Amino acid sequence: MRGVVHSINISSGGVPKNLIESAEIRKDGVEGDFNKFREGRGGDPDRAVCIFSLERIESMKIEGHPIDVGTTGENLTIKGIEWESLVEGALVEIGDVLLQLSEPCAPCSKISKSFIDRRFDRVNHDREFGWSRWLARVLREGMVKIGDSVNIIITPAG
C-alpha cells in the first residue's frame, strides 16, 4: 500500500505543530520536535513519531470539526493510505527511514480544540476504529521530505 508525505510537523511543545519541508528522523523522534514522552525519563522509543491521515483530517473537517494538519500533534501527515487497514507492527517505509507502528495514539485534552465540543475521543481507536493517529518506533534513521513516497508493509501476526 503506497501513499505520500503531505506534511512534516514539529513544535517546541504543544499543538499545533508547524509545517517544515524536511526533517531528520532519529531513534528518539523528529529532529526539532519536543515530545514529553521522549524527553527526560529515558524516553519511550515506541512513541518516537506520530503519524496521521490527511483523508481522516479532511473528513472530520467536513463533519464540522475545527481540525487541521498538525493540530492533533502528528509529526507526519500522510495521504493515500487505507487508514483502517493499519495494524500494530506494520512497517512504514519513507525514503531511507523505516518506522514500525507500535500502537494507536490515545487522544488527550491537549488536542481538544480540534474537535466539536472538545470531543477528542473522536480519534479514540477503541471507540472509532480506523480514525486514530498512530505512534511508531524508528527502526532506521534518515531524512524525510514532503512528497516522499510512503510504503506500508502489513505482515500477518505471528
Domain regions of the chain by residue span: 2-153
Q: Cell for 143? A: 531524512
Q: Hey, how many other C-beta atoms are within 10 angstroms of the C-beta on 68?
A: 14
Return d(Cα 125, Cα 103) in angstroms, integer: 10
pTM: 0.93
| Terminal alpha carbon distance of the chain | 20
pLDDT confidence of residue 158: 44
Q: Where are the beta strands (DSSP E) in 80-146?
A: 91-94, 97-105, 133-140, 142-145
- The DSSP 8-state label assigned to residue 88 in this structure reads T
Quote the pLDDT of residue 138.
97
pLDDT at 41: 47
- pLDDT at position 8, please? 98
Q: In the prediction, which pLDDT does 147 show?
A: 98
Where the chain has pLDDT below 70, the residues are 36-43, 156-158
pLDDT of residue 114: 98
The pLDDT of residue 156: 63
Fold of 2-153: M1 Pyruvate Kinase; Domain 3 (2.40.33)
